Amino acid sequence: MRVRRKPKNKYNARKIEFQGVTFDSQAEYEYYLILKNDKSVQDIELQPEYQIIKPYKVKCGRCDGRGKVLNTKTLNLNKCTLCKGYGTRTKSGAKFTADFKVTYIDGEIKVIDVKGGPTSKDFTLRKKLFEIKTGHELVIAKKTGKGWEVN
């Protein structure tokens, strides 16, 4: 079985390391072990990244897309410094990073996110954007008192 990983950020204090693979949480680590011991799993990719929003352009908010700003004292039209006179500004997109992308021996692919606790509103929106963008349902593996709930 192949295991691929990306370097994680340095700021998470409660990381868990196992066989050279670093996990953000105990729940993520435990689910990884389940996947690793699953004989139907062929490949596990850790922290797969998906661009859920592409970089986009908007009309500049300072000059309303005109590229020029009125100086109220001199009444001169000056080049807008915010958009450098272009009238538009490019905004960065957004990425969604899941916990695992799992490929099964029959070719089935599942993108899985592990949740140890309640999820934020931000997560719900990111999940929707991931699903719209990829057409794949994001599988949520949730650790409960009774074990794992996978939906």
Catalog residues that contact Zn ion under the rule CB under 5 A.
Answer: 60, 62-63, 80, 82-83
When the beta carbons of 44 and 80 are compared against Zn ion, the nearer one is 80
Rounded to the nearest whole angstrom, what is the least distance from the CB of residue 74 to Zn ion in the complex? 18
When the beta carbons of 48 and 67 are compared against Zn ion, the nearer one is 67
Query: Rounded to an integer, what distance in angstroms lies between the CA atom of residue 142 and that of residue 83?
Result: 45
When the beta carbons of 63 and 98 are compared against Zn ion, the nearer one is 63
When the beta carbons of 42 and 88 are compared against Zn ion, the nearer one is 88
Q: Which of 77, 20, 79 is nearest to 46 (CA)?
A: 20
Rounded to the nearest whole angstrom, what is the least distance from the CB of residue 56 to Zn ion in the complex? 16
- Please report, for residues 27, 39, 56, 58, the alpha-carbon distance to residue 23 in angstroms, rounded to integers and kept in the order given: 9, 22, 32, 37
CB 8 within 8 A of CB 22: yes
Rounded to the nearest whole angstrom, what is the least distance from the CB of residue 70 to Zn ion in the complex? 12
Query: Rounded to an integer, what distance in angstroms lies between the CA atom of residue 60 and that of residue 77?
Result: 16
Rounded to the nearest whole angstrom, what is the least distance from the CB of residue 86 to Zn ion in the complex? 7
Query: Rounded to an integer, what distance in angstroms lies between the CA atom of residue 52 and that of residue 134?
Result: 8
